[in-house]
Chains A and B, each alone.
Chain A
Amino acid sequence: MSAHIVIDKVSKVFETDGRRMVALENIDLEIPRGQFVCLLGPSGCGKSTLLNAIAGFAPPTAGTVVADGAPVHGPGPERGMVFQEYALFPWMTVEQNVGFGLEIKGMAKAQIAARVAELLKLLSLEDFGKRYPKDLSGGMRQRVAIARVLALDSPIMLMDEPFGALDALTRRNLQDELLRLWAELKKTVIFVTHSIEEAIYLADRIVVMTYRPGTVKRDMLVELPRMRDPSAPEFNALKRELGQLVMEEQQRHHEAEMKSAAVD
């Protein structure tokens, strides 16, 4: 069986004020159906750029992305995205947010209501259906955002540092929730993070990316049994190994910043 998502020689170049910045260079990745992949790297390594290319928000300068057998030409509900900033519509209640994708699909009202109720239950949000996002905590908001994407019933779920703005306890809580949902719903997940521990805790496979130009530095499978224990020696050994890789890139990031500061 062919891969669920095929990223073929993808490059992305930004040009601003005549300066050329290579964000992604020749990325090749094949992601099988149902795999949980973490894109890991320091800021500026192009992991979000790659995710946006898969989502269809910003097409690559060269190369192609094929998702679920179809080339990606733009954003769409078959590749639902969870954003770090939640991106809930503040003028819609929780129910309306979760049901919005279904409404766009043209589903009947009664069906939407039933499906929304089901999703709110799945994410322990039953009591918050009539609330507005402003009344919810960050963790609750991200639950709503996840429910909104699950409503689309898309086989692929893209997540852009979704738990980056949450406190440590809420974060662990949502990570566990996400793993539970993933095991239950068997989705292909691409998850961007700069937290090494988060990547090891969640992923089947970790793709470490380099700082400009963004390339694949290391592509590894995480074979620790689930649920993983972050204090286990194997976990920590992996953490050390990945930490080394990420630090090298962080160092390059730092040097590049110092250099550009000197030039300016």
Chain B
Amino acid sequence: MMKRRGKDIAVGLIVPVVAIGIWQWVASMGWVNENILPSPLAVWRKWVAYLLPMQDFGTWHENNPQGGWWSWATSGELIIDSLGSLYRVVVGFAVGAGLALPLGLAMGASRIVYAWMNPLVQLLRPIPPIAYIPLSILWFGLGNPPAIFLIALGAFFPVLMNTIAGVRQVDGIYLRAARNLGAGGSTMFLRVILPAAVPYILTGMRIGIGTAFIVVIVSEMIAVNNGLGFRILEAREYFWSDKIIAGMITIGILGLAIDVGMNKLNNYLLRWHRGLEH
């Protein structure tokens, strides 16, 4: 079992290692300007510099007499930026999904609510969150509020549409069995319809957090002064291509981490689900 796993990892590493090798080779031949394509080694050095604190502890401590070792160690730009981006994703997603979930449940369960709300939803849904940027700046100014508004919008519709579908597709046999056991009203909703819809809702959340992650990078390029999206755009102004790539790699790692986290949550919440083996 472990041996097999080790082999899988080894096989999986071949292509990335070869790709980085070619990249390093091309860069070291001096064919391309290093401002256009820095070597992987340069990117790595930049990434480490970006990660580490900008000042040594002594200097930093003079400016931050309250801070201890831990806050010094995490005072690097990359950590501040990552936390800033993550904070926006989490808050924006929580707002968007938090509004979409009850509305989706109501629209899925009630024909009347659906008839009232669906035309508006259908009208707004095709507008990409990015198109709200000008309006969001007019409404919320600069800083976190417009970014969170945009991210919430990005998460809202995938969660909403999947929740509606999830409630509507609940197999009639479960409803019949539950009614036979005497379930009605809130018991029916909370113990039967809601759990039966969970696989769809989670799919919606996964798409929603993916959208939120795209929107956070874009909104940081426009409305805020930190975060990974802001940092790579700033690096372009100074021709720091190594920093741009280091930032992009960080974005990739964060996206992957979010996806892995969602996957774990998925596996836990759907441990009853057929065809899901872990």
Known interface pairs A75-B180, A104-B181, A152-B181; A83-B173 also in contact (CB < 8 Å): yes
- For B177, the chain A residues whose CB sits under 8 A away are 81, 83, 87-89
- For A134, the chain B residues whose CB sits under 8 A away are 272-274
- Give CA–CA (A92, B174) in the complex, Å: 12
Instruction: Point out the residue from A57, A85, A89, A101 that lies within 8 Å of B192, measured CB to CB.
Output: A89
B194: nearest residue on chain A (CB-CB)? A91
Q: Mark B68-91, 1 if CB is under 8 A from A, else 0.
A: 000000000000000000000000
Known interface pairs A89-B195, A90-B273; A104-B173 also in contact (CB < 8 Å): no
How many residues on chain A are close to B (CB under 8 Å)?
Answer: 27
- Give CA–CA (A81, B175) in the complex, Å: 13
- Give CA–CA (A93, B273) in the complex, Å: 11
Instruction: Point out the residue from A55, A93, A105 that lies within 8 Å of B182, measured CB to CB.
Output: A105
Judged by a CB distance under 8 angstroms, whether A100 is at the interface is yes
- For B178, the chain A residues whose CB sits under 8 A away are 89, 100
- For A148, the chain B residues whose CB sits under 8 A away are 181
Judged by a CB distance under 8 angstroms, whether B187 is at the interface is yes
Q: Which of B154-194 contact A (CB under 8 A)?
A: 173-174, 176-183, 187, 191-192
Instruction: Say yes or no: B173 contacts A77, CB within 8 Å.
Output: no
- Give CA–CA (A104, B177) in the complex, Å: 13
How many residues on chain B are close to A (CB under 8 Å)?
Answer: 20
- For B183, the chain A residues whose CB sits under 8 A away are 100, 104
- Give CA–CA (A17, B178) in the complex, Å: 30
Judged by a CB distance under 8 angstroms, whether A132 is at the interface is yes
- For A79, the chain B residues whose CB sits under 8 A away are 180
Judged by a CB distance under 8 angstroms, whether B198 is at the interface is yes
Q: Which of A50-71 contact B (CB under 8 A)?
A: 55, 57
Known interface pairs A100-B181, A148-B181; A75-B176 also in contact (CB < 8 Å): yes
Judged by a CB distance under 8 angstroms, whether A162 is at the interface is no
- Give CA–CA (A75, B177) in the complex, Å: 9
Judged by a CB distance under 8 angstroms, whether A32 is at the interface is no
Judged by a CB distance under 8 angstroms, whether A230 is at the interface is no
- For B182, the chain A residues whose CB sits under 8 A away are 76-77, 101, 104-105, 152
- For B152, the chain A residues whose CB sits under 8 A away are none
Q: Mark A22-52, 1 if CB is under 8 A from B, else 0.
A: 0000000000000000000000000000000
Judged by a CB distance under 8 angstroms, whether A139 is at the interface is no
Judged by a CB distance under 8 angstroms, whether B196 is at the interface is yes
- For A133, the chain B residues whose CB sits under 8 A away are 272
B198: nearest residue on chain A (CB-CB)? A91
- Give CA–CA (A79, B178) in the complex, Å: 12
Judged by a CB distance under 8 angstroms, whether A155 is at the interface is no
Q: How far is the CB of A63 from chain B (nearest CB, A)?
A: 21
Instruction: Say yes or no: B196 contacts A91, CB within 8 Å.
Output: yes
- Give CA–CA (A88, B178) in the complex, Å: 9
Judged by a CB distance under 8 angstroms, whether A214 is at the interface is no
Instruction: Say yes or no: B187 contacts A104, CB within 8 Å.
Output: yes
Q: Can you report 29 residue pairs joining A to B where beta carbons are below 8 Å apart?
A: A57-B176, A74-B179, A75-B180, A77-B181, A79-B180, A80-B180, A83-B173, A83-B176, A85-B173, A87-B174, A89-B191, A89-B192, A89-B195, A90-B272, A90-B274, A91-B195, A91-B196, A91-B198, A91-B272, A93-B272, A100-B181, A100-B183, A101-B181, A101-B182, A104-B183, A104-B187, A105-B182, A132-B271, A132-B272
A residues in contact (CB < 8 Å) with B: 55, 57, 74-77, 79-81, 83, 85, 87-93, 100-101, 104-105, 132-134, 148, 152
- Which 5 pairs between the two chains have the least Cβ-Cβ distance? A87-B177, A101-B181, A77-B182, A91-B195, A132-B272
Given A89-B192, A93-B272, A101-B182, 14 more pairs with CB closer than 8 A = A74-B179, A75-B176, A80-B180, A83-B177, A87-B174, A89-B191, A90-B273, A91-B195, A100-B178, A104-B182, A104-B187, A132-B271, A134-B274, A152-B181
